[in-house]
A = this chain, B = another copy of it.
Amino acid sequence: MNCILLPAANFQHDNASAYINDLAQIAHVNKVLGAKVGGTLKVGQLGGSLGTATIENIAADSIQLRDVDLTIDPPPKLNLTVVLALPRPKVLRRLIMDMTALGVNDIILINSYRTQKSYWQSPMLNRLDEFVLEGLQQGVDTMAPRVTLQKRFKPFVEDELTSFITNRAIVAHPYSALSFSQYVHQQLTKPKAPNGSVLPSMVFIGAEGGWIDYEIDLLTAQGCAAVNIGPRILRTEAAVNVILGQWLLYSQY
């Protein structure tokens, strides 16, 4: 928690004061930060700006803040949709946190052949807002990504993919002969997207075991390029961060 994000409803007096009533946030202020009355906290308004506030009062179920000063814009979101095969519930929290912390704009959790049906019944899917909040507080951002669920792979790819891909799309596939860097260099010779980028605006990433050939074929038939990120096969969590790290690096050029 590198900042404490509060909903707009927790701000008072024209945003000059605010209160924390979330127990996880209160525990963080007391136990991790060891903050006292008069101390300064990094805070933000969900969907708004970032800044600081001074602790006026600490009670068991509420911390009152004064001199709230929110003047810093959140960092820009990435022009990127990650379509992730619904992973094991155990890793879902960290994946949502990391994609949120890195600034992904849209997250689509999709069914895949290797997604077990039981994953769609997981109670973790009711806690996505909580994982997004954790990711925002980790990455020091206030703008939540849009997270949607797509239980059917084929109709999504066949009917909806074209409308989503305003620019370019890739699917991470360790068995593809084309590397991500080769892909980007190919794109440099092609017309740029309206925003001037040659980077994909949509990245498909598989869960444990990756995509099956049928899924890769469906995606490539819709114009999505299969790319590898090196000779080594990574866990989904590692792959997401490696690909996003490389995407970020290219986006600086």
Chain A 117-146 interface 0/1 with B at a Cβ cutoff of 8 Å (1 = within): 000000000000000000000111100000
A89 touches B (CB below 8 Å):
no
- Contacts A98-B238, A102-B238 given: A245-B233 contact, CB under 8 Å? no
**In contact, A101 and B242 (Cβ under 8 angstroms):** no
Partner of A241, one of B75, B238, B252: B238
CA distance A39 to B242 in the complex (A): 33
Alpha-carbon gap, A97 to B234, bound state (A): 9
Q: Which of A13-21, A187-195, A215-223, A224-232 lies on the face that meets chain B?
A: A224-232
CB of A1, distance to nearest CB on chain B (Å): 10
- B242 and A139 form a contact (CB under 8 A): no
Considering the chains assembled together, what is the distance between the CA atoms of A231 and B250 in angstroms? Answer: 15
Q: Could you say which residues of chain B place their CB within 8 Å of the CB of A98? A: 234-235, 237-238
**Cβ of B242 and Cβ of A97 under 8 Å apart?**
no
Which of B139, B232, B244 meets A75, CB within 8 Å? Answer: B232
CB nearest neighbor in B for A249: B246
The reply to whether B94 and A234 form a contact with Cβ atoms under 8 Å apart is no
Which residues of B sit under 8 angstroms from A244, Cβ to Cβ? 242, 245
- The verdict on A103 contacting chain B, using a C-beta distance below 8 Å, is yes
For A140, list chain B residues within 8 Å (CB): 231-233
Contact yes or no, B181 A252, CB < 8 A? yes
Instruction: Note all chain B residues with C-beta closer than 8 A to A238.
Output: 98, 101-102, 241
Q: Is A248 an interface residue (CB 8 A)?
A: yes
| 23 A-B residue pairings within 8 Å (CB atoms) | A94-B237, A98-B235, A98-B238, A101-B235, A101-B238, A102-B232, A102-B234, A139-B232, A139-B234, A140-B231, A140-B232, A140-B233, A141-B232, A180-B249, A181-B249, A229-B248, A230-B248, A237-B237, A242-B242, A244-B245, A245-B245, A246-B246, A246-B248
Q: A180-B249, A242-B245 are in contact. List 10 more A-B contacts (CB 8 A).
A: A2-B233, A101-B233, A101-B234, A101-B238, A102-B232, A140-B231, A179-B252, A229-B245, A245-B246, A246-B248
Closest 9 A-B residue pairs measured CB to CB? A242-B245, A241-B241, A245-B245, A139-B232, A75-B231, A98-B238, A2-B233, A238-B241, A246-B249
